[in-house]
Amino acid sequence: MNRTTLYIKLIDKDTKQQKLSMLETYKTIQRIVLQYTDKFTIFEADWVHEHQNGTITVEKALKTELFDVSKDIVSEIIKILKIVLNHESILMQHHEIVTSIV
């Protein structure tokens, strides 16, 4: 089984501001991802970044975990999310995992 995790910040690439609320972004991601898979997790996270000058920035983000979705499908999901949410990039991690339901 594989798990792909997407870290999706809420900042618009052009305005550098959060244009959609957390709930609106959540619903948008849910609508898009459900077109490709019938199960995933999504939850709120803080994206913490320390700049070279020592300034710390905390941005709201949504962490989405997809299970047993091919890399091609994940790439398509990311492509659509980047367009719809007007994002420059989305961080993706892909892992092979061992899972059991007990």
Given this model, what pLDDT does residue 100 score?
Answer: 84
**Is 102 within the bounds of a domain?**
no
Residues 8 and 84: their CA atoms lie apart, in Å, by 12
Given this model, what pLDDT does residue 99 score?
Answer: 81
For the segment 60-73, the average pLDDT, to the nearest whole number, is: 96
**Is 84 within the bounds of a domain?**
yes
Q: In what order do the strands lie in the sheet with 40-50?
A: 40-50, 56-67, 2-9, 91-96
**Is 91 within the bounds of a domain?**
yes
Stated length of the chain: 102
**Is 101 within the bounds of a domain?**
no
Using an 8 Å Cβ cutoff, are 91 and 56 in contact? no
* pTM for the full predicted model: 0.89
**Alpha carbon distances (Å) from 82 to 18, 59, 72, 76, 102:** 14, 17, 15, 10, 36
**Is 53 within the bounds of a domain?**
yes
Into how many domains does the chain fold? 1
User: pLDDT band at 101, cuts 50/70/90?
Assistant: confident
Query: Residue 35's domain is classified under what CATH number?
Result: 3.30.70.120
Give yes or no for residue 64 having a pLDDT over 90.
yes
